[in-house]
Amino acid sequence: MYNETHRPQFHFSARENWLNDPNGLFFYDGQYHLFFQHNPFGTAWGNMTWGHALSPDLLHWRQVEHALYPDALGTMFSGSAVVDWHNTTGFQAGDQPPIVLIYTAAGGTSPESQGKPFTQCLAFSTDGAQTWQKYPGNPVLGEQRSGNRDPKVIWHDPTRRWIITLYLDENDFALYASPDLIHWEHLHDLVAPDSIECPDLFRLPVDGAPGMKKWVWMAGNGRYYIGDFDGSRFNPESDLLTGDWGANFYACQTYSDIPDPDARRIQIAWMKDGQYPGMPFNQQMSFPCEIRLRDTPHGPRLTRWPVREIERIWADRQSWENLHLDSRGILLTADAGQQLDISVSIGLKDARAVGLEIGGVAIRYDCEAQTLNCLGCTAPLAPEDGRIHLRCLLDRTSLEVYGNRGLVSMSSCCLPSEQNAVLRIFAEGGGSVFEQVTASNVLSTWPKE
Ligand code: FRU
Protein backbone atom coordinates (compact mmCIF):
# COMPACT_ATOMS: atom_id res chain seq x y z
CA MET A 1 0.00 0.00 0.00
CA TYR A 2 1.26 3.48 -0.99
CA ASN A 3 4.37 2.06 -2.61
CA GLU A 4 2.86 0.71 -5.81
CA THR A 5 4.93 1.28 -8.98
CA HIS A 6 3.11 4.42 -10.13
CA ARG A 7 2.09 5.81 -6.71
CA PRO A 8 3.27 9.43 -6.34
CA GLN A 9 5.36 9.57 -3.17
CA PHE A 10 5.01 13.20 -2.05
CA HIS A 11 1.81 14.17 -3.88
CA PHE A 12 -1.63 13.31 -2.60
CA SER A 13 -3.60 10.49 -4.22
CA ALA A 14 -6.62 8.63 -2.84
CA ARG A 15 -5.94 5.39 -0.99
CA GLU A 16 -7.91 3.66 -3.74
CA ASN A 17 -10.22 4.50 -6.63
CA TRP A 18 -10.93 7.65 -8.57
CA LEU A 19 -10.12 11.23 -7.51
CA ASN A 20 -10.62 14.57 -9.26
CA ASP A 21 -10.99 18.14 -7.97
CA PRO A 22 -9.59 19.30 -4.63
CA ASN A 23 -12.56 20.52 -2.58
CA GLY A 24 -13.13 22.36 0.68
CA LEU A 25 -9.54 23.40 1.37
CA PHE A 26 -9.32 24.98 4.83
CA PHE A 27 -6.93 25.11 7.76
CA TYR A 28 -8.12 24.61 11.32
CA ASP A 29 -6.42 23.81 14.60
CA GLY A 30 -3.06 22.82 13.15
CA GLN A 31 -4.40 20.75 10.26
CA TYR A 32 -4.73 21.39 6.55
CA HIS A 33 -7.90 19.72 5.33
CA LEU A 34 -8.18 18.41 1.80
CA PHE A 35 -11.46 17.04 0.51
CA PHE A 36 -11.60 15.61 -2.96
CA GLN A 37 -14.03 14.52 -5.64
CA HIS A 38 -14.05 10.78 -5.24
CA ASN A 39 -15.68 7.64 -6.61
CA PRO A 40 -15.60 5.21 -3.68
CA PHE A 41 -16.62 2.32 -5.94
CA GLY A 42 -14.22 2.38 -8.86
CA THR A 43 -11.21 3.82 -10.66
CA ALA A 44 -13.35 5.76 -13.18
CA TRP A 45 -15.28 9.00 -12.53
CA GLY A 46 -18.75 8.54 -10.95
CA ASN A 47 -20.80 8.42 -7.70
CA MET A 48 -19.32 11.73 -6.65
CA THR A 49 -18.55 11.68 -2.93
CA TRP A 50 -16.30 13.99 -0.90
CA GLY A 51 -13.24 12.05 0.26
CA HIS A 52 -11.29 13.65 3.12
CA ALA A 53 -7.65 13.79 4.13
CA LEU A 54 -5.67 15.91 6.56
CA SER A 55 -2.12 16.96 7.07
CA PRO A 56 -0.16 19.00 9.61
CA ASP A 57 2.39 20.12 6.99
CA LEU A 58 0.94 19.74 3.44
CA LEU A 59 3.32 16.79 3.00
CA HIS A 60 2.08 13.90 5.13
CA TRP A 61 -1.59 13.17 4.42
CA ARG A 62 -3.89 10.88 6.36
CA GLN A 63 -7.06 9.88 4.57
CA VAL A 64 -10.03 9.66 6.93
CA GLU A 65 -13.73 8.78 6.54
CA HIS A 66 -15.57 10.20 3.55
CA ALA A 67 -17.33 13.45 4.46
CA LEU A 68 -20.24 13.76 2.01
CA TYR A 69 -22.17 10.96 0.35
CA PRO A 70 -24.74 11.36 -2.45
CA ASP A 71 -28.32 12.00 -1.29
CA ALA A 72 -31.78 12.61 -2.80
CA LEU A 73 -30.63 16.01 -4.15
CA GLY A 74 -27.80 14.49 -6.18
CA THR A 75 -24.22 13.34 -6.07
CA MET A 76 -21.70 15.61 -4.34
CA PHE A 77 -19.95 17.88 -6.84
CA SER A 78 -17.21 20.39 -6.08
CA GLY A 79 -17.24 23.21 -3.57
CA SER A 80 -15.33 24.91 -0.80
CA ALA A 81 -15.13 25.24 2.99
CA VAL A 82 -14.83 28.01 5.56
CA VAL A 83 -14.52 28.30 9.29
CA ASP A 84 -17.51 30.38 10.44
CA TRP A 85 -15.65 32.23 13.22
CA HIS A 86 -18.55 34.61 13.94
CA ASN A 87 -21.19 31.87 13.86
CA THR A 88 -23.07 33.74 11.13
CA THR A 89 -24.82 30.49 10.21
CA GLY A 90 -26.03 29.89 13.78
CA PHE A 91 -24.78 26.28 13.45
CA GLN A 92 -22.48 26.47 16.49
CA ALA A 93 -23.29 23.89 19.17
CA GLY A 94 -20.39 23.98 21.62
CA ASP A 95 -16.99 25.62 21.93
CA GLN A 96 -15.83 25.12 18.37
CA PRO A 97 -16.80 27.46 15.54
CA PRO A 98 -18.91 25.75 12.88
CA ILE A 99 -16.97 24.62 9.84
CA VAL A 100 -19.12 24.82 6.74
CA LEU A 101 -18.83 22.96 3.45
CA ILE A 102 -20.51 24.68 0.51
CA TYR A 103 -21.03 22.22 -2.33
CA THR A 104 -23.10 21.43 -5.39
CA ALA A 105 -25.74 18.71 -5.22
CA ALA A 106 -25.73 17.46 -8.81
CA GLY A 107 -29.38 16.52 -9.31
CA GLY A 108 -30.02 14.01 -12.09
CA THR A 109 -26.63 12.30 -11.78
CA SER A 110 -27.95 9.39 -9.67
CA PRO A 111 -31.12 7.28 -9.72
CA GLU A 112 -32.34 8.91 -6.45
CA SER A 113 -32.06 12.45 -7.83
CA GLN A 114 -33.63 11.93 -11.29
CA GLY A 115 -35.33 15.07 -12.59
CA LYS A 116 -33.71 17.36 -9.98
CA PRO A 117 -31.52 20.34 -10.95
CA PHE A 118 -27.97 21.23 -9.79
CA THR A 119 -28.26 23.29 -6.58
CA GLN A 120 -25.93 24.74 -3.95
CA CYS A 121 -26.03 23.19 -0.48
CA LEU A 122 -24.36 23.30 2.93
CA ALA A 123 -22.98 20.73 5.33
CA PHE A 124 -21.28 21.53 8.61
CA SER A 125 -19.28 20.24 11.51
CA THR A 126 -19.71 21.35 15.12
CA ASP A 127 -16.88 19.17 16.43
CA GLY A 128 -13.86 20.70 14.70
CA ALA A 129 -14.14 18.85 11.36
CA GLN A 130 -14.52 15.31 12.67
CA THR A 131 -18.13 14.64 11.71
CA TRP A 132 -20.36 16.31 9.14
CA GLN A 133 -24.09 16.84 8.84
CA LYS A 134 -26.05 18.26 5.97
CA TYR A 135 -28.08 21.43 6.53
CA PRO A 136 -31.77 20.40 6.69
CA GLY A 137 -32.82 23.51 4.70
CA ASN A 138 -30.83 22.49 1.60
CA PRO A 139 -30.58 23.71 -1.08
CA VAL A 140 -29.56 27.25 -0.07
CA LEU A 141 -29.38 28.39 -3.70
CA GLY A 142 -31.71 26.97 -6.33
CA GLU A 143 -30.81 26.45 -9.96
CA GLN A 144 -29.56 29.63 -11.68
CA ARG A 145 -28.66 27.94 -14.94
CA SER A 146 -28.64 24.30 -15.87
CA GLY A 147 -25.41 22.71 -14.61
CA ASN A 148 -24.41 25.63 -12.33
CA ARG A 149 -21.83 24.44 -9.81
CA ASP A 150 -18.58 24.74 -7.82
CA PRO A 151 -19.25 27.48 -5.22
CA LYS A 152 -16.11 29.03 -3.68
CA VAL A 153 -16.70 31.14 -0.59
CA ILE A 154 -14.59 33.80 1.10
CA TRP A 155 -15.25 36.07 4.08
CA HIS A 156 -15.19 39.76 3.08
CA ASP A 157 -14.36 41.58 6.27
CA PRO A 158 -15.06 45.20 5.19
CA THR A 159 -18.70 44.35 4.38
CA ARG A 160 -18.92 41.60 7.03
CA ARG A 161 -20.41 39.10 4.62
CA TRP A 162 -19.58 36.03 2.61
CA ILE A 163 -18.80 36.33 -1.10
CA ILE A 164 -19.41 33.36 -3.31
CA THR A 165 -18.15 32.85 -6.83
CA LEU A 166 -20.04 30.22 -8.83
CA TYR A 167 -19.79 28.62 -12.27
CA LEU A 168 -23.01 29.09 -14.29
CA ASP A 169 -22.58 27.57 -17.77
CA GLU A 170 -20.59 28.09 -21.01
CA ASN A 171 -17.95 30.71 -20.05
CA ASP A 172 -20.22 32.43 -17.54
CA PHE A 173 -19.65 32.76 -13.82
CA ALA A 174 -21.38 34.82 -11.13
CA LEU A 175 -20.73 36.44 -7.77
CA TYR A 176 -23.15 36.32 -4.83
CA ALA A 177 -23.10 37.77 -1.32
CA SER A 178 -24.55 36.31 1.83
CA PRO A 179 -24.68 37.38 5.50
CA ASP A 180 -25.02 33.78 6.73
CA LEU A 181 -24.25 31.38 3.82
CA ILE A 182 -27.97 30.56 3.80
CA HIS A 183 -29.46 33.61 2.03
CA TRP A 184 -27.66 34.57 -1.19
CA GLU A 185 -27.96 37.79 -3.18
CA HIS A 186 -26.80 37.87 -6.82
CA LEU A 187 -24.12 40.54 -7.33
CA HIS A 188 -23.14 40.20 -11.00
CA ASP A 189 -22.06 37.84 -13.75
CA LEU A 190 -18.55 37.52 -15.13
CA VAL A 191 -17.32 36.06 -18.42
CA ALA A 192 -13.95 34.34 -18.86
CA PRO A 193 -13.17 33.24 -22.44
CA ASP A 194 -12.29 29.54 -22.89
CA SER A 195 -12.78 28.94 -19.19
CA ILE A 196 -15.24 26.82 -17.28
CA GLU A 197 -15.81 25.44 -13.75
CA CYS A 198 -14.23 25.80 -10.29
CA PRO A 199 -13.71 29.57 -9.88
CA ASP A 200 -11.74 31.16 -7.02
CA LEU A 201 -11.38 34.71 -5.69
CA PHE A 202 -8.75 36.13 -3.34
CA ARG A 203 -6.69 39.19 -2.49
CA LEU A 204 -2.91 39.43 -2.30
CA PRO A 205 -0.22 42.04 -1.73
CA VAL A 206 1.96 42.76 -4.78
CA ASP A 207 5.63 41.94 -4.15
CA GLY A 208 7.79 44.84 -5.34
CA ALA A 209 4.96 47.41 -5.09
CA PRO A 210 4.79 48.35 -1.40
CA GLY A 211 1.27 48.99 -0.14
CA MET A 212 -0.42 47.64 -3.25
CA LYS A 213 -2.98 44.84 -2.94
CA LYS A 214 -4.92 43.32 -5.79
CA TRP A 215 -7.77 40.88 -6.20
CA VAL A 216 -7.43 37.78 -8.33
CA TRP A 217 -10.36 35.94 -9.87
CA MET A 218 -9.41 32.54 -11.30
CA ALA A 219 -11.18 29.83 -13.30
CA GLY A 220 -10.73 26.07 -12.96
CA ASN A 221 -8.09 25.95 -15.70
CA GLY A 222 -5.95 28.44 -13.75
CA ARG A 223 -6.65 31.38 -16.09
CA TYR A 224 -7.06 34.54 -14.07
CA TYR A 225 -7.91 38.21 -14.03
CA ILE A 226 -6.19 40.72 -11.79
CA GLY A 227 -8.51 43.44 -10.64
CA ASP A 228 -10.34 45.15 -7.86
CA PHE A 229 -13.24 44.05 -5.74
CA ASP A 230 -15.18 46.52 -3.62
CA GLY A 231 -17.39 43.98 -1.91
CA SER A 232 -20.03 44.14 -4.64
CA ARG A 233 -18.28 44.08 -7.99
CA PHE A 234 -15.11 42.50 -9.32
CA ASN A 235 -13.58 44.71 -11.99
CA PRO A 236 -10.91 43.01 -14.11
CA GLU A 237 -7.94 45.30 -14.81
CA SER A 238 -5.89 42.81 -16.82
CA ASP A 239 -6.45 40.50 -19.76
CA LEU A 240 -7.28 36.92 -18.90
CA LEU A 241 -3.84 35.56 -17.95
CA THR A 242 -2.47 32.02 -17.74
CA GLY A 243 -1.78 30.59 -14.29
CA ASP A 244 -0.24 27.31 -15.43
CA TRP A 245 1.04 26.22 -18.84
CA GLY A 246 1.15 22.46 -18.34
CA ALA A 247 -1.07 19.78 -19.83
CA ASN A 248 -2.44 18.46 -16.56
CA PHE A 249 -3.40 21.39 -14.36
CA TYR A 250 -7.08 21.71 -13.50
CA ALA A 251 -9.74 22.56 -10.92
CA CYS A 252 -7.32 24.53 -8.76
CA GLN A 253 -8.46 25.88 -5.40
CA THR A 254 -6.80 27.91 -2.65
CA TYR A 255 -6.93 27.37 1.10
CA SER A 256 -9.24 29.25 3.40
CA ASP A 257 -8.44 30.30 6.96
CA ILE A 258 -4.66 30.02 7.01
CA PRO A 259 -4.08 32.25 10.03
CA ASP A 260 -1.88 35.34 10.38
CA PRO A 261 1.03 35.88 10.54
CA ASP A 262 1.57 33.06 8.01
CA ALA A 263 -1.47 33.96 5.90
CA ARG A 264 -0.07 32.27 2.84
CA ARG A 265 -2.37 31.69 -0.14
CA ILE A 266 -1.80 28.03 -0.88
CA GLN A 267 -3.20 26.31 -3.94
CA ILE A 268 -3.74 22.69 -4.91
CA ALA A 269 -4.92 21.54 -8.35
CA TRP A 270 -6.05 18.24 -9.76
CA MET A 271 -3.41 16.85 -12.17
CA LYS A 272 -6.08 15.92 -14.64
CA ASP A 273 -5.64 12.96 -17.01
CA GLY A 274 -2.47 11.39 -15.61
CA GLN A 275 -1.99 7.70 -16.42
CA TYR A 276 -1.66 5.10 -13.65
CA PRO A 277 -1.90 1.72 -15.38
CA GLY A 278 -2.60 -1.24 -13.13
CA MET A 279 -2.92 0.89 -10.00
CA PRO A 280 -5.67 0.55 -7.36
CA PHE A 281 -6.05 4.35 -7.44
CA ASN A 282 -6.49 6.82 -10.29
CA GLN A 283 -5.34 10.48 -10.52
CA GLN A 284 -3.32 12.71 -8.18
CA MET A 285 -3.17 16.26 -6.83
CA SER A 286 -0.51 18.84 -7.70
CA PHE A 287 2.12 19.70 -5.12
CA PRO A 288 0.74 22.53 -2.90
CA CYS A 289 2.05 25.87 -4.11
CA GLU A 290 2.20 29.28 -2.53
CA ILE A 291 0.52 31.83 -4.78
CA ARG A 292 1.82 35.39 -4.76
CA LEU A 293 1.62 38.46 -6.97
CA ARG A 294 4.82 39.95 -8.34
CA ASP A 295 5.19 43.37 -9.87
CA THR A 296 6.52 43.04 -13.47
CA PRO A 297 6.95 45.50 -16.36
CA HIS A 298 3.58 44.20 -17.65
CA GLY A 299 1.83 44.73 -14.33
CA PRO A 300 1.28 42.37 -11.41
CA ARG A 301 1.53 38.66 -12.28
CA LEU A 302 0.80 35.53 -10.33
CA THR A 303 3.63 33.28 -9.20
CA ARG A 304 3.34 29.65 -8.07
CA TRP A 305 6.06 28.16 -5.90
CA PRO A 306 6.16 24.85 -4.00
CA VAL A 307 5.47 25.38 -0.30
CA ARG A 308 8.67 25.66 1.72
CA GLU A 309 7.72 22.61 3.82
CA ILE A 310 9.17 20.50 1.00
CA GLU A 311 12.66 21.27 2.34
CA ARG A 312 11.89 18.97 5.29
CA ILE A 313 11.76 15.96 2.97
CA TRP A 314 14.89 16.73 0.97
CA ALA A 315 17.56 14.06 1.18
CA ASP A 316 21.00 13.50 -0.38
CA ARG A 317 21.35 17.00 -1.74
CA GLN A 318 23.97 17.29 -4.49
CA SER A 319 25.19 20.48 -6.10
CA TRP A 320 27.36 21.65 -8.96
CA GLU A 321 28.68 25.12 -9.75
CA ASN A 322 29.83 27.02 -12.82
CA LEU A 323 29.57 24.28 -15.39
CA HIS A 324 30.54 25.80 -18.75
CA LEU A 325 28.74 24.10 -21.63
CA ASP A 326 29.52 24.70 -25.27
CA SER A 327 27.01 23.02 -27.60
CA ARG A 328 27.01 19.81 -25.67
CA GLY A 329 25.42 17.91 -22.85
CA ILE A 330 26.85 16.55 -19.65
CA LEU A 331 25.65 13.76 -17.51
CA LEU A 332 25.34 14.93 -13.92
CA THR A 333 24.25 11.66 -12.47
CA ALA A 334 23.06 8.35 -13.83
CA ASP A 335 21.24 7.50 -10.65
CA ALA A 336 19.07 10.45 -9.73
CA GLY A 337 16.03 8.50 -8.51
CA GLN A 338 12.35 9.05 -9.29
CA GLN A 339 11.56 11.72 -6.69
CA LEU A 340 13.51 14.90 -7.18
CA ASP A 341 13.55 18.61 -6.48
CA ILE A 342 16.03 20.26 -8.86
CA SER A 343 17.03 23.92 -9.17
CA VAL A 344 19.12 25.33 -12.00
CA SER A 345 20.42 28.85 -12.68
CA ILE A 346 21.68 29.28 -16.22
CA GLY A 347 23.66 32.20 -17.64
CA LEU A 348 22.60 32.13 -21.28
CA LYS A 349 25.56 33.62 -23.21
CA ASP A 350 25.21 32.70 -26.93
CA ALA A 351 23.47 29.30 -26.73
CA ARG A 352 20.40 28.82 -28.91
CA ALA A 353 18.81 26.52 -26.36
CA VAL A 354 19.64 25.22 -22.90
CA GLY A 355 18.02 22.88 -20.47
CA LEU A 356 18.01 19.67 -18.58
CA GLU A 357 16.83 16.17 -19.13
CA ILE A 358 15.40 14.04 -16.37
CA GLY A 359 14.67 10.42 -17.12
CA GLY A 360 14.52 11.15 -20.84
CA VAL A 361 12.14 14.13 -20.48
CA ALA A 362 13.61 17.42 -21.73
CA ILE A 363 12.93 20.75 -20.07
CA ARG A 364 14.20 23.02 -22.77
CA TYR A 365 14.59 26.78 -22.88
CA ASP A 366 14.64 28.24 -26.37
CA CYS A 367 16.81 31.36 -26.02
CA GLU A 368 15.74 32.86 -29.35
CA ALA A 369 11.99 32.39 -28.96
CA GLN A 370 12.28 32.99 -25.18
CA THR A 371 10.06 30.05 -24.46
CA LEU A 372 10.15 27.20 -22.00
CA ASN A 373 9.15 23.83 -23.48
CA CYS A 374 8.35 20.59 -21.73
CA LEU A 375 6.24 17.54 -22.61
CA GLY A 376 4.60 19.28 -25.56
CA CYS A 377 3.74 22.50 -23.69
CA THR A 378 5.22 25.95 -24.28
CA ALA A 379 5.31 29.07 -22.10
CA PRO A 380 6.80 32.50 -22.72
CA LEU A 381 9.66 33.28 -20.33
CA ALA A 382 12.03 36.24 -20.61
CA PRO A 383 15.54 36.01 -19.13
CA GLU A 384 16.24 38.08 -16.01
CA ASP A 385 19.72 39.66 -16.03
CA GLY A 386 20.73 37.27 -18.83
CA ARG A 387 19.71 34.25 -16.76
CA ILE A 388 16.99 31.67 -16.56
CA HIS A 389 16.11 29.91 -13.35
CA LEU A 390 14.31 26.57 -13.48
CA ARG A 391 12.96 24.39 -10.71
CA CYS A 392 11.54 20.92 -11.33
CA LEU A 393 9.65 18.57 -9.05
CA LEU A 394 9.59 15.02 -10.30
CA ASP A 395 7.48 12.47 -8.47
CA ARG A 396 7.29 9.29 -10.54
CA THR A 397 4.22 10.23 -12.63
CA SER A 398 4.36 14.02 -12.58
CA LEU A 399 6.77 16.77 -13.49
CA GLU A 400 6.07 20.30 -12.27
CA VAL A 401 8.35 22.97 -13.71
CA TYR A 402 8.67 26.54 -12.40
CA GLY A 403 10.44 29.23 -14.42
CA ASN A 404 12.02 32.35 -12.91
CA ARG A 405 10.87 31.62 -9.38
CA GLY A 406 7.31 30.77 -10.22
CA LEU A 407 6.49 33.36 -12.88
CA VAL A 408 5.84 30.43 -15.16
CA SER A 409 4.42 27.21 -13.84
CA MET A 410 3.97 24.09 -15.95
CA SER A 411 2.28 21.08 -14.38
CA SER A 412 2.39 17.89 -16.40
CA CYS A 413 2.02 14.17 -15.97
CA CYS A 414 4.19 11.54 -17.60
CA LEU A 415 4.85 7.89 -17.01
CA PRO A 416 8.51 7.29 -16.17
CA SER A 417 10.57 5.72 -18.92
CA GLU A 418 13.10 2.94 -18.43
CA GLN A 419 16.00 5.37 -17.99
CA ASN A 420 14.29 7.46 -15.36
CA ALA A 421 17.37 7.79 -13.21
CA VAL A 422 19.49 9.86 -15.59
CA LEU A 423 19.99 13.62 -15.04
CA ARG A 424 21.67 15.58 -17.84
CA ILE A 425 22.14 19.24 -18.66
CA PHE A 426 22.71 20.62 -22.14
CA ALA A 427 23.37 23.66 -24.32
CA GLU A 428 22.78 23.81 -28.06
CA GLY A 429 24.21 26.09 -30.76
CA GLY A 430 26.54 28.07 -28.43
CA GLY A 431 27.77 28.47 -24.89
CA SER A 432 26.12 28.88 -21.54
CA VAL A 433 27.07 28.59 -17.86
CA PHE A 434 25.10 26.47 -15.46
CA GLU A 435 26.02 28.66 -12.53
CA GLN A 436 24.24 26.58 -9.94
CA VAL A 437 22.59 23.17 -10.09
CA THR A 438 21.18 21.48 -7.01
CA ALA A 439 19.34 18.18 -6.95
CA SER A 440 17.69 16.74 -3.85
CA ASN A 441 15.97 13.44 -3.56
CA VAL A 442 12.55 13.82 -2.03
CA LEU A 443 11.46 11.33 0.60
CA SER A 444 8.17 9.49 0.52
CA THR A 445 5.59 10.99 2.84
CA TRP A 446 3.27 7.98 3.01
CA PRO A 447 2.90 5.98 6.18
CA LYS A 448 4.79 2.70 6.09
CA GLU A 449 1.86 0.31 6.19
C1 FRU B 1 -14.33 19.86 -12.60
C2 FRU B 1 -15.72 19.29 -12.36
C3 FRU B 1 -16.58 20.27 -11.60
C4 FRU B 1 -17.60 19.38 -10.95
C5 FRU B 1 -16.79 18.15 -10.65
C6 FRU B 1 -17.53 16.86 -10.76
O7 FRU B 1 -13.40 18.86 -12.82
O8 FRU B 1 -16.32 18.95 -13.59
O9 FRU B 1 -17.16 21.27 -12.38
O10 FRU B 1 -18.15 19.95 -9.81
O11 FRU B 1 -15.70 18.15 -11.53
O12 FRU B 1 -16.74 15.79 -10.35
Ligand 1 pocket check: which of 118, 120, 148, 150 to mutate, most ligand atoms within 8 Å of Cβ?
150
Q: Which residues pair with 250 in a beta bridge?
A: 270
Position 418 scores a pLDDT of 63
Gap between the Cα atoms of 270 and 249, Å rounded: 6
Q: Nearest to residue 226, comparing CAs of 218, 235, 234, 216?
A: 216
Position 449 scores a pLDDT of 59
CA 448 to ligand 1 centroid distance, Å: 32
Q: What is the pTM of this model?
A: 0.98
Position 133 scores a pLDDT of 98
Please identify, by atom number, the ligand 1 atom nearest to the C-alpha of residue 270.
7
Position 1 scores a pLDDT of 85
CA 30 to ligand 1 centroid distance, Å: 28
Antiparallel, parallel or unpaired: β 281-282 and 17-28:
parallel
Gap between the Cα atoms of 178 and 175, Å rounded: 10
State the DSSP string of 5-74.
TT--SSS---SSEEEEEEEEEEEETTEEEEEEEEETT-SSS-S-EEEEEEESSSSS-EEEEEEE--BTTB
Quote the DSSP letter at residue 189: E
Q: Helix (H, G, I), strand (E, B), or coil: what is residue 275?
A: coil
Q: CA angle 172-173-176, nearest 5°?
A: 145
Q: One digit per residue, pLDDT tens: the chain, 449 residues?
A: 899 999 999 999 999 999 999 999 999 999 999 999 999 999 999 999 999 999 999 999 999 999 999 999 999 999 999 999 999 999 999 999 999 999 999 999 999 999 999 999 999 999 999 999 999 999 999 999 999 999 999 999 999 999 999 999 999 999 999 999 999 999 999 999 999 999 999 999 999 999 999 999 999 999 999 999 999 999 999 999 999 999 999 999 999 999 988 889 999 999 999 999 999 999 999 999 999 999 999 999 999 999 999 999 999 999 999 999 999 999 999 888 899 999 999 999 999 999 999 988 999 999 999 999 999 999 999 999 999 999 999 999 999 999 999 999 999 999 877 656 799 999 999 999 999 999 999 999 998 75
Q: Which residues contact 45 (CB under 8 A, 6 or more apart)?
A: 18, 20, 39
CA 59 to ligand 1 centroid distance, Å: 25
Q: CA angle 91-92-94, nearest 5°?
A: 150
In the sheet where 377-380 sits, what is the strand order?
Answer: 329-333, 423-428, 353-358, 361-366, 371-374, 377-380
CA 76 to ligand 1 centroid distance, Å: 10
Report the catalytic residues: 21
Position 448 scores a pLDDT of 78
Position 269 scores a pLDDT of 98
Task: List own/partner pairs for 126-134 with CB under 8 A and 24 or more apart.
Answer: 126/91, 126/92, 126/93, 126/94, 126/96, 126/98, 127/94, 127/96, 128/28, 128/29, 128/96, 128/99, 129/28, 129/29, 129/31, 129/33, 129/54, 129/99, 132/67, 132/68, 132/101, 134/68, 134/71
Q: Residue 195 is which amino acid?
A: S
- What's the Cα-to-Cα distance from 342 to each of 140, 197, 289, 290, rounded to whole Å? 47, 33, 16, 18
Position 419 scores a pLDDT of 55
Name which residue sits closest to atom 6 of ligand 1, judged by CA.
77
Cis ω on the peptide bond leading into residue 139 (within 30° of 0)?
A: yes
Please identify, by atom number, the ligand 1 atom nearest to the C-alpha of residue 197.
9
Position 315 scores a pLDDT of 96
Position 108 scores a pLDDT of 98
Ligand 1 pocket check: which of 19, 23, 36, 37 to mutate, most ligand atoms within 8 Å of Cβ?
37
Ligand 1 pocket check: which of 18, 20, 167 to mutate, most ligand atoms within 8 Å of Cβ?
20
Quote the DSSP letter at residue 309: G
State the DSSP string of 191-217.
E-TT--S--EEEEEEEETSTT-EEEEE
CA 22 to ligand 1 centroid distance, Å: 10
Please identify, by atom number, the ligand 1 atom nearest to the C-alpha of residue 48.
12
Q: Nearest to residue 174, comparing CAs of 136, 201, 205, 137?
A: 201
Please identify, by atom number, the ligand 1 atom nearest to the C-alpha of residue 21.
7
Position 260 scores a pLDDT of 84
Position 263 scores a pLDDT of 85
Q: Nearest to residue 153, comparing CAs of 142, 141, 135?
A: 141
Helix, strand, coil percent values for the chain (each to nearest 5) = 5, 55, 45
Position 336 scores a pLDDT of 87
